[in-house]
Amino acid sequence: MKVLILNEKDLRTALKDSNPIDDVEQGFKKLTLNEAVLPGIISLEIPEKKGEFHIKGAYLQGSPFVVFKSANSYYDNPVKGLPSSSGLFFAFDSDTGFIKALMFDNSFLTHVRTGISGAIGTKYLSNKDLKQVLIAGCGTQGRFQWEYLKKVRSIKKLKLWDIDPKKAEEFQNEIKAKDKIDVSVVTSLKDTVPECDCITTVTPSKKPFISLEWISKGTHINAVGADNPDKQELDERIYGIADVIIVDRKAQCVKFGETHHAIENNIIKEEEIDGEIGDVIAGKVCGRTSVDQITICDLTGVGVQDAAIAAFAIKKATEKGLGTYADIS
């Protein structure tokens, strides 16, 4: 028996010139329709080594694969000149349980599915015609947000902000080299945010940097950065003026997403969350119903996204004849 082995290069080649947005959408939709199995996760922590392992998995009905992902973080690795994050995806045949593929993605697949979730939030919740878009946070994930955002909306003006303006400039130069778009770096969020109708926040910030006072009618916000209880990007009072609040996974967002700060500070009650993004995709929840509404999509990352992107990558890699095979018989 042979197992397909895909490294990061293979996976980047597999996904080149392809669009997995529909597949990730289907993952969210299956979760809503109870057509997904999403078990608990394993967290193994080694405090004395500042190391932790998180394993999660999911099965989407009809998929040829059951997918698990190990995401490992060693916070002292950079001191040794090593990346802090590592891990792998492993995919089993959903009809036999046999291992079929191992993907050493160096976080690439996770970045892709997270970028796609922002695009899905925008596709289903922002206004169709956008005057000006802001990406706040110009690290790796900011790039993935842009990569998929431009596939779902025709964007005329893009503003980039980072706490380190040099990072924003680097990103601006990359975009100028490949995309025909009016892109510029901003340093004042106070001046920029009021003119934006679509904002994606994707920073590791632990204190809010988008103020209530700056938000205009009709704005959509994707809150991507907060994936643990300490992180926060939005003034929690924005939840108080939001007309539509959508999350990727309610059980997570009330614990460690952006949304949990709004609940903890009594700005909203848990019941005021309008639904999960899968509900909107499936048509069970409306989402935006007028151009003036303020909408928020809180994205913390769900196993169904991993299952969807992994299955998509294996399909594309197989079609393109990528990777190597390990004989395990």
Shortest spacing between CB 121 and a copy of itself, in angstroms: 27
- In the bound state with a copy of itself, the residue whose beta carbon lies nearer, of 83 and 194, is 83
120-159: which residues touch a copy of itself (CB under 8 A)? none
* Of 13, 18, 73, 107, the one binding a copy of itself by CB under 8 A: 73
Shortest spacing between CB 62 and a copy of itself, in angstroms: 11
From the list 52-60, 131-139, 256-264, 274-282, the region that binds a copy of itself by CB under 8 A is 52-60
Shortest spacing between CB 8 and a copy of itself, in angstroms: 8
* Of 19, 22, 44, 156, the one binding a copy of itself by CB under 8 A: 44
* Of 34, 188, 266, 329, the one binding a copy of itself by CB under 8 A: 329
Give which of 261, 257, 197 is closest to 235, Cα–Cα. 261
Distances (CA, A) of 84 to 75, 181, 200, 229, 317: 5, 34, 25, 20, 27
| Cα Rg of the chain (Å, integer) | 20
| Strand boundaries in 225-298, DSSP class E | 244-247, 275-276, 295-298
Our finding on whether 96 is near a copy of itself (CB under 8 A) is yes
Distances (CA, A) of 221 to 37, 78, 136, 326: 29, 32, 11, 44
Shortest spacing between CB 255 and a copy of itself, in angstroms: 17
Our finding on whether 41 is near a copy of itself (CB under 8 A) is yes
Joined together, the tokens standing for residue 153 give 């909306």
Distances (CA, A) of 196 to 131, 165, 258: 7, 19, 20
Task: State yes or no: is 190 an active-site residue.
Answer: no
Q: Which of 29, 30, 56, 69 is catalytic?
A: 69
Our finding on whether 49 is near a copy of itself (CB under 8 A) is yes
Instruction: Please give the Cα distance from 161 to 164 (Å, whole number).
Output: 8
Number of residues that bind a copy of itself (CB under 8 A): 47
Instruction: Please give the Cα distance from 129 to 157 (Å, whole number).
Output: 11
Instruction: Please give the Cα distance from 252 to 298 (Å, whole number).
Output: 10
* Of 42, 241, 251, 291, the one binding a copy of itself by CB under 8 A: 42
From the list 3-11, 138-146, 250-258, 277-285, the region that binds a copy of itself by CB under 8 A is 3-11
Residues with a catalytic annotation lie at 69
